[in-house]
Amino acid sequence: PRVPITAKLVADLLTVTGANRVVAVDLHAEQIQGFFSIPVDHLYTIPIFARYFNEMNLDNPVVISPDSGGANRARALAKRLNCGLAIGDKRRQANDDKTELLNIIGDVEDKTAILYDDIIDTGSSLIKIANVLSTKNVKNIYAACTHGVLSCSAVQNINNSNIEKLFITNTIPLSEEAAACPKIIQLSIAEMLAMAIKKIHTEESLSVLFT
């Protein structure tokens, strides 16, 4: 995925309007922090998802990144869940900007799949991977994404897919349709943000938020 230069514009606008520090949650690319001339605290929702999945006591889980670009993110969650990692193998078609999922790299057979990404828009990418996983003899398919954009017919697509549950956070408010969808579970990041704000104002280290 490519990060548009508008990220630099937003960084400049925040600085010009008087911001002297920024707290961000699961940036699409780590490099965005370099666009700012002021301190940036980059928070991750991995601990929140990990805590929830651990409480679910999933049977033989495996974390799956939709593509190689999200491998580090998925690896961090897999480490917290003490489970395996798999990656979707996508290739860009010749003379076309679209990508095609060719295969899943990693052992997923007879496991509980957790598709993990930073953002879900229309849901088409996750659903394509879920369809491939269905041919790999997985037990269950769950998805977890920090930012639930859920545009167009995303909610309907998720509802009609073989994804059992989609876990997202409240970085973006849910639409009425999404809130009513039985497959969508929203997890709150309020406690994490509150702790970050408190520690910033008391000039304490934010390192506890990354453990």
Q: Are 201 and 165 members of one domain?
A: no
Amino acid at 83: C
Q: Are 69 and 53 members of one domain?
A: yes
CA distances from 9 to 12, 24, 35 (A): 5, 16, 9
123-138 burial code (b ≥16 CB/10 A, e <16): bebbbbbbebbeebeb
Quick check: 108 and 133 in contact, CB under 8 A?
yes
Contacts of 157 (CB under 8 A, 6+ apart): 122, 123, 124, 127
Q: Are 53 and 24 members of one domain?
A: no
Domain encompassing residue 18: 6-44+191-210
Q: Are 31 and 128 members of one domain?
A: no
Domain for residue 1, yes or no?
no
Q: Are 129 and 200 members of one domain?
A: no
Domain for residue 96, yes or no?
yes
Domain for residue 111, yes or no?
yes
Task: Return the beta strands (E) in 26-138 as ranges.
Answer: 40-43, 61-65, 84-92, 99-105, 112-120
Q: Are 182 and 200 members of one domain?
A: no
Residue 91 is encoded by which pair of tokens?
């290739």
Residues labelled as active-site residues: 90
Q: Are 196 and 184 members of one domain?
A: no
Domain for residue 204, yes or no?
yes
Q: Are 22 and 108 members of one domain?
A: no
Domain for residue 173, yes or no?
yes
Question: Digits of tens for pLDDT over the chain (211 positions)?
Answer: 455 578 889 999 999 999 999 999 999 888 899 999 999 999 999 999 999 999 999 999 999 999 988 999 999 999 999 999 999 987 766 555 566 767 899 999 999 999 999 999 999 999 999 999 999 999 999 999 999 999 999 999 999 999 999 999 999 999 999 999 999 999 999 999 999 999 999 999 988 887 6
Residue 76 is encoded by which pair of tokens?
């961090």
Can you tell me which residue has the tokens 């009425």?
176
Q: Are 74 and 37 members of one domain?
A: no
Quick check: 127 and 66 in contact, CB under 8 A?
no
Domain for residue 101, yes or no?
yes
We report the CATH number of the domain holding residue 107 as 3.40.50.2020
Q: Are 36 and 57 members of one domain?
A: no
| Number of separate domains in the chain | 2
